Amino acid sequence: MNQQDNGMQKRMLIMTLVVFVFFIAYEFLVLKPQQEEKAKQAQIAKEQSQNAAPQITSNVSPAAQPSSEDMKKSISALSSKAIGDSEIISTITTAKNIIQIDKLGRVAQVTLLEKKYKDEEGNQIKLFEANQLRPLEVRFANADTNEKAFKTAYASSSSKVDATATEQKLTLTQNIDGFIVTKDLTFYPDGHYDINVKTSEKQQFFITNGFRPNVLVDMYADHGVYLKLNDGTMSLTSDENLEKVESHTGIKFVSNFDRYYATVAYNFENSLQVSLMPDSSNNPQSFIHANGDISFSGFMGPKNFNDLKALNPELTDVIEYGWFTFIAKPMFTFLQFIQSYVGNWGWTIVILTILIKLILYPLSYKGMVSMQKLKDLAPKMKEIQTKYKDDKQKQSMHMMELYKKHGANPMGGCLPLILQIPVFFAIYRVLLNSIELKGAEWILWINDLAEMDPYFVLPILMGASMYLQQKITPNTMQDEMQRKIFQMLPVVFTFFFLWFPAGLTLYWFVNNVFTISQQYYINRMFEKQRAAKK
């Protein structure tokens, strides 16, 4: 290859390595310290709670020892997501969740009821931390009113609401020295709600849909606030990226989200005005503007495509796929279509991967053929480089003549790959953000395609397939250092994929297997052609 092609390969190599080094460095230098700090704070809170609790003396009789159920409740009480019973004035049970309202008229906690939504300890997932900004909290522009509001408890029309089968209403009332705030809520069996907030006197206030759920926040997916405007455009503000207050008008929905879960406020008839305010860590907090009266609907739970679509088709935009959303959304629709017939998400991923490989086969074929031709021309290319090493212009001219004579394209191996990148990234984002994979089983040891492979079988198979793919793929690199670095990539990828969701690793492994089969076919074809020429 000439120096220009060699330089291009070097740049691609450097880019690949920089991306993966960044991910790994971010994992160990940023995320892990944050997780350790969070665990440390939780431990401190636990110790403080234990110190404040009555001590159990050693002379307690066996019959009086706490039961396993009591122990579970005790442990739950020390959790960063536990809410004190004295804080709760109303509990709403729907078919999908349990919603607890506290004495300040806010959503204190949401517990998901579907069996597949469980945490690492096997408990049903709770969306919110106890000390975070809570949904439906009201703040007043008038500082005096605001101060009194946070000292005045709400009254609830019912302490328990059963909305498992039919919609149910709940009224929350706050009397601030004769100034009345009323929240009329309607809860539905699917877990969403409608709310109307009004005040006895016209005052400007702000109501929030709360800080994002804190269930799964990681380096692989965005988390923060997502807005949809009346013109259909989307605005994303990621955590730690908001430095000052920002105001937005003409908002259809505001979604505070982590990887799989969101708390959303929406109104598709009368658009909302929303301000984003940074907290102490520059994370966005969203507040909806109101002046005496406001109505909207809300949803707190998993970003399940079909559930969101059932509420309103536009709510499917709550699921954020990144730069390649225009490819990712139809791809997810196609994925669901396949799953509706197959009935298993694992085999659905396998079938989707095969179909995509078949569709992209013409591009892959051209790239592989080009690499084979360049491999055959490597000795002649080296001769030209040696002969014209002091005249780069002649070297380049003779190289182009050689390419033209044999129908080889030095960019032939790169261009098909570049054209496939948007598709690969779209699949990556779809599988990464699809909570539908949560709790989805696939053969023997894979009990949850949204979680990492517990025995690392898929990552190891993926790394082995990548190594085999390298071995049978023509390598036109002449620089020994580049060769050695590329030989290390299967190891780097394997390490990286150890913590990837099993569904995503499955896609990559199947993709590698079919790439190997395609490359093997091309190699055999060229071997026959070479043998025929002898």
Q: Is 280 exposed, middle or buried (0-12, 13-18, 19+ CB in 10 A)?
A: exposed
What would the DSSP string read from start to end of 403-450?
Answer: HHHHT--TTTTTHHHHHHHHHHHHHHHHHHH-GGGTT--BTTTB--TT
Which residues, including other chains, have CB under 8 Å from residue 330's CB and lie 6 or more apart?
none
Least confident span in 210-214, 239-243, 384-388, 474-478: 474-478
Give the model confidence (pLDDT) of 332-372 as tens digits: 999 999 999 999 999 999 999 999 888 888 878 877 777 77
Unique residue bearing structure tokens 């009201």: 138
How far is the C-alpha of 98 from the C-alpha of 100, rounded, in Å? 7
Q: Are 504 and 431 in contact (CB under 8 A)?
A: yes
Give the model confidence (pLDDT) of 424-458 as tens digits: 788 888 888 888 888 888 988 998 898 889 999 99
Least confident span in 36-40, 106-110, 287-291, 469-473: 36-40
The gap from C-alpha 419 to its chain's centroid, in whole angstroms, comes to: 24
Give the model confidence (pLDDT) of 49-81 as tens digits: 333 333 222 333 333 333 444 434 433 444 577
Q: Which strand (E) or helix (H) includes residue 492?
A: helix 480-497
Count of H-run helices and E-run strands, the chain: 13, 17
Beta bridge pairs of residue 485: none
Strand pairing class (204-207; 193-199): unpaired
- Percent of the chain exceeding pLDDT 70 equals 80
How far is the C-alpha of 505 from the C-alpha of 402, rounded, in Å? 41
Sheet containing strand 97-102, edge to edge, reads 107-112, 97-102, 88-94, 160-163
Give the model confidence (pLDDT) of 504-527 as tens digits: 899 989 989 988 998 888 888 878
Structure tokens at 355: 């179909």
Strand pairing class (284-291; 168-176): unpaired
Least confident span in 27-41, 111-125, 188-202, 452-466: 27-41
What would the DSSP string read from start to end of 24-63?
Answer: HHHIIIIIHHHHHHHHHHHHHHHHHHHHHSPPPPTT--GG
Structure tokens at 529: 């052609």
How far is the C-alpha of 428 from the C-alpha of 325, rounded, in Å? 11
Give the model confidence (pLDDT) of 203-228 as tens digits: 999 999 999 998 977 766 789 999 99
Q: Taking all residues of the chain, what is their mean pLDDT, rounded to a whole number?
A: 82
Q: Does position 7 have pLDDT exceeding 90, yes or no?
A: no
How far is the C-alpha of 297 from the C-alpha of 318, rounded, in Å? 14
Q: Give 95's DSSP letter.
A: S
Q: How many residues in total does the chain contain?
A: 534
**What domains are defined for the chain?**
80-320 (2.70.98), 330-533 (no CATH)
Q: Are 125 and 302 in contact (CB under 8 A)?
A: no
Structure tokens at 413: 């191996």
Structure tokens at 441: 């089983």
Q: What crossing angle do the helices spanning 361-387 and 345-359 adopt, rounded to 10°?
A: 50
Instruction: Pick 75 or 314 by higher pLDDT.
Output: 314
The gap from C-alpha 107 to its chain's centroid, in whole angstroms, comes to: 24
Structure tokens at 44: 């401190």
Q: Which strand (E) or helix (H) includes residue 379?
A: helix 361-387
If phi over 0 gives left and psi between -120 and 50 gives alpha, with beta otherwise, what is residue 456? Answer: left
Give the ranges where 212-359 is alpha helix by DSSP (H).
305-311, 325-342, 345-359
Residue 394: which pLDDT band, with cuts at 50, 70 and 90? Answer: confident
CA distances from 356 to 309, 429, 459 (A): 26, 15, 21
Residue 419: which pLDDT band, with cuts at 50, 70 and 90? Answer: low
Give the model confidence (pLDDT) of 271-301 as tens digits: 999 999 999 999 999 999 999 899 999 999 9
Q: Are 64 and 57 in contact (CB under 8 A)?
A: no
Instruction: Pick 136 or 402 by higher pLDDT.
Output: 136
Phi, psi of 167 (to 5 degrees): -65, 145
Which residues, including other chains, have CB under 8 Å from residue 197's CB and lie 6 or more apart?
138, 181, 182, 183, 184, 205, 207, 290, 293, 294, 295
The gap from C-alpha 435 to its chain's centroid, in whole angstroms, comes to: 9
How far is the C-alpha of 5 from the C-alpha of 245, rounded, in Å? 48
Q: Are 263 and 108 in contact (CB under 8 A)?
A: no
Q: Does position 22 have pLDDT exceeding 70, yes or no?
A: no
**What is the model's pLDDT at position 65?**
36
CA proximity to 215, closest of 136, 305, 111: 111
CA proximity to 140, closest of 152, 149, 129: 149
